[in-house]
Amino acid sequence: MSQHSVSGNLIGDSINATEQCMMPISVDASPDQWPAGVPALAHVPGSAPAPTTLAELTTMAVGGPVGEYVEATSESELIDAVRQADEAGRPLLVVGGGSNILAADAGFDGLVLRDARQEVSLLADDRCGGVEISATAGTTWDDLVRQAVACEWGGFETLSGIPGTVGAAP
């Protein structure tokens, strides 16, 4: 599904992750390896009751009732939910952080599918050429920046504070 490969300049879904002669990174830093004092994502997938309105899923806090809600934490869950909605002829609304959605008060009578996959993988690490990463669409920008800082990947700092997830569709 939607993964963004990061390299080059900010064009479309790409971000410059190059820093002069970076030290090689041997492993990805998971949230439990982040430096002390760096909080993990506030919303832990599956930790809260399922939202009953779109207002609970959008940063503008507007929108009426949802028909059905599924939170996918893996690619297979995401694919299964899309296939089931398609086979049933149900309307489908895929959301991430809800930062680019202005929802109607009438709500959405279909399947609201939240992509809650939060994975960042190191694809390449060139000592003088920078790093190339892949991040799943449900990864928040702040979590991507936290991991980049923890791994000493330069160039991501200016992305902190962007609402939503890396898979957002502007």
pLDDT level of residue 35 (50, 70, 90 thresholds): very low
By residue range, what is the domain housing residue 147? 3-41+118-159
pLDDT over 70 percentage in the chain: 70
The pLDDT score that the predictor gives to residue 32 is 59
DSSP state of 72: E
pLDDT level of residue 92 (50, 70, 90 thresholds): very high
Total domains in the chain come to: 2
Q: Are residues 59 and 75 part of one domain? A: yes
Residues 147, 134, 6, 4: is their CA dihedral positive or negative? negative
On whether the pTM is more than 0.85, the answer is no
Q: Which residue has the tokens 């993964």?
A: 3
Asked whether residue 20 is assigned to any structural domain, the reply reads yes
Asked whether residue 109 is assigned to any structural domain, the reply reads yes
* Structure-token pair, residue 28: 């990805």
What is the number of other CB atoms lying within 10 angstroms of the CB of residue 18? 18
Asked whether residue 136 is assigned to any structural domain, the reply reads yes
The helix (H) or strand (E) run that includes residue 83 is: helix 75-88
Q: Are residues 155 and 124 part of one domain? A: yes
CA–CA separation, 146 and 41 (whole Å): 10
